[in-house]
Amino acid sequence: MTVLNPLVKPLEELLEKPDNIKKIGIDVDGVVANLNDKLLELANEMYFFQNSDYTKKLKKELKASDIITFDYTECTPLNNEDMREIFKVLEAEKALLELKPLQDAQKVINHLHKFFDIYFITSRAKYYTNAEEQTFEWFDKNKIIYNKNNFFFDNKKAELSKKLGISKFIEDRAETALSLAENDIDVLLLDYQWNNHEDQKIVKEVNKHPKIKRIYNTPIAYWPNLEKELII
C-alpha cells in the first residue's frame, strides 16, 4: 500500500488562494525556459555551419556574448526572414520542448505557489502556431506547477497585467519591463546582456526607473535570488 506523505498537498488545494493574495506575473522565455541557448544553437546550425538548406550568413559562430539586444536582427547579421526560418524550425520540430529550465526555476516556482497567485504570460503565440501545445507539454515535462486559467499567450503584457490585478512581474526584456513599470507594476528584471548593454538607449531608462529592480545570476542563480526577493 502506498503511504501518502500528509505534507504533500494535492495540486487543487495548492492552487486555491484567498482573494487578497498577491498576484505575480511570470514571463516564460528567458525567465523559466532557456530559449537563448537554443536560438544560438539553431542560428549556428542553419547559418554558420555547412547546411545545404540555408545560405551561410554568419562569418563566425554566434556566442551568448554577441546577443546584446533582445532582437537578433539588431545585433547579428541575421534578418527577419532568417529569424522566421529559425522560429519555423522551433515550431515544426517542437524544439521548444528541448529547452532547459533555468536553474532552480522548478523548485522555486512550485514553492512560490504557496504564497502567490501565479500568472504566466508569454508572447510565444506571436511566433508559433503550436505555442500552447508546446508550452503546456514543456511545463508538464519539467514538473512546474501552473494553472491553465492563469496562463496567457498574449504580448500586451502591461495591459493584461493591469486587468488581472498583477502587482509584480518577472521579465527579461527591457521594453516589456519599461512598459510594465510605466503602468505601475513592479518589475523584477533578470539581468542579461540583452537588457543591460550600454549601447542601448532604453537601458538608461530601465536603470533609472524606480519600479524596476535587476535580479542577478550570482552567487547561485536567478531563481534563488528571486525567492529571497519575494518571500524571505
One symbol per residue from 142 to 181: x for binding Mg ion (CB under 5 A), - otherwise; what is it?
------------------------------x---------
Give the shortest CB-34-to-Mg ion separation in angstroms.
11
Residue 113 CB, nearest distance to Mg ion (Å)? 20
Would you state the cell numbers that stand for residue 97, as one nine-digit string?
520542448
Q: If you ran DSSP here, which 8-state letter would residue 28 be given?
A: S
3-state secondary structure 132-193: HHHHHHHHHHCCCCCCHHHEEECCCHHHHHHHHCCCEEEECCHHHHHHHHHCCCEEEEECCH
Other Cβ atoms within 10 Å of 143 Cβ, number: 10
CB 32 to Mg ion: min, Å = 9
**Among residues 146, 56, 57, 70, which one has the least CA distance to residue 105?**
146
**Residue number with the shortest CB distance to Mg ion?**
30
Nearer to Mg ion, 15 or 193 (CB): 193
Q: Which of 25, 26, 30, 101 binds Mg ion (CB under 5 A)?
A: 30
Total interface residues for Mg ion by CB under 5 A? 4
Among 27, 46, 168, 178, binds Mg ion (CB under 5 A): 27
- What H or E segment, with its residue span, contains residue 214? strand 212-215
Nearer to Mg ion, 175 or 186 (CB): 175
**Residue among 27 and 82 whose Cβ is closer to Mg ion:** 27
Residues that bind Mg ion (CB under 5 A): 27, 29-30, 172
